[in-house]
């Protein structure tokens, strides 16, 4: 019986720590993308309108398109003029970060 109580106590502690960590870091990584947005703004502009003629505007793009494009850059399966720059930029992004970025830019007008 003592072993059972100890096991239950350990499990409760682990669950409490997991919950606190998720709360602290945001369990859905709709993450704080503020720093990522700053990186994007370098080429795509702070308002999603590109500052260079060779860079696409992201404001108002379809969310699913942006998810597919950024994921393909991250995974190294997208080629083209901007792939050399975008592949390393997207390399460290999680699926949740990609989704949050796509949602942000698609909501811009």
Per-residue pLDDT of the chain (109 residues; tens, 9 = 90+): 554 443 343 333 333 333 333 444 444 444 689 999 999 999 999 999 998 998 999 999 999 999 999 999 999 999 998 999 999 999 999 999 999 999 999 999 8
Q: Do 55 and 68 belong together in one domain?
A: yes
Percent of the chain with pLDDT over 70: 72
Q: Do 23 and 38 belong together in one domain?
A: no
Cα 8 versus chain centre, distance: 36
Q: Do 13 and 39 belong together in one domain?
A: no
Q: Do 13 and 45 belong together in one domain?
A: no
Residue tagged 């398109």 (tokens): 65
Q: How far apart are CA 53 and CA 102, in angstroms?
A: 21
Q: Do 82 and 71 belong together in one domain?
A: yes
Q: Do 13 and 48 belong together in one domain?
A: no
Q: Do 43 and 93 belong together in one domain?
A: yes
At residue 37, the pLDDT reads: 95
Give, in degrees to the nearest 5, the angle at Cα 94 between 56 and 49. Answer: 20
Q: Do 49 and 99 belong together in one domain?
A: yes
CA-to-CA separations, 57 to 4, 9, 25, 73, in angstroms, rounded: 60, 54, 31, 16
pTM over 0.75? The answer is: no
Q: Do 40 and 91 belong together in one domain?
A: yes
At residue 32, the pLDDT reads: 85
Q: Residue 37's domain spans which residues?
A: 31-107
């Amino acid at each position: 019986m003592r072993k059972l109580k100890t096991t239950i106590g350990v499990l409760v502690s682990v669950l409490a720590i997991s919950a606190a960590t998720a709360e602290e870091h945001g369990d859905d990584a709709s993450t704080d993308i503020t720093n990522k947005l700053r990186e994007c703004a370098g080429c795509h502009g702070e308002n999603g309108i590109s500052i260079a003629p060779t860079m696409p505007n992201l404001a108002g793009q379809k969310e699913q398109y942006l998810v597919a494009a950024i994921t393909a850059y991250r995974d190294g399966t997208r080629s083209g003029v901007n792939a050399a720059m975008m592949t390393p930029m997207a390399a460290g992004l999680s699926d949740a970060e990609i989704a949050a970025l796509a949602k942000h830019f698609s909501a811009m007008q």
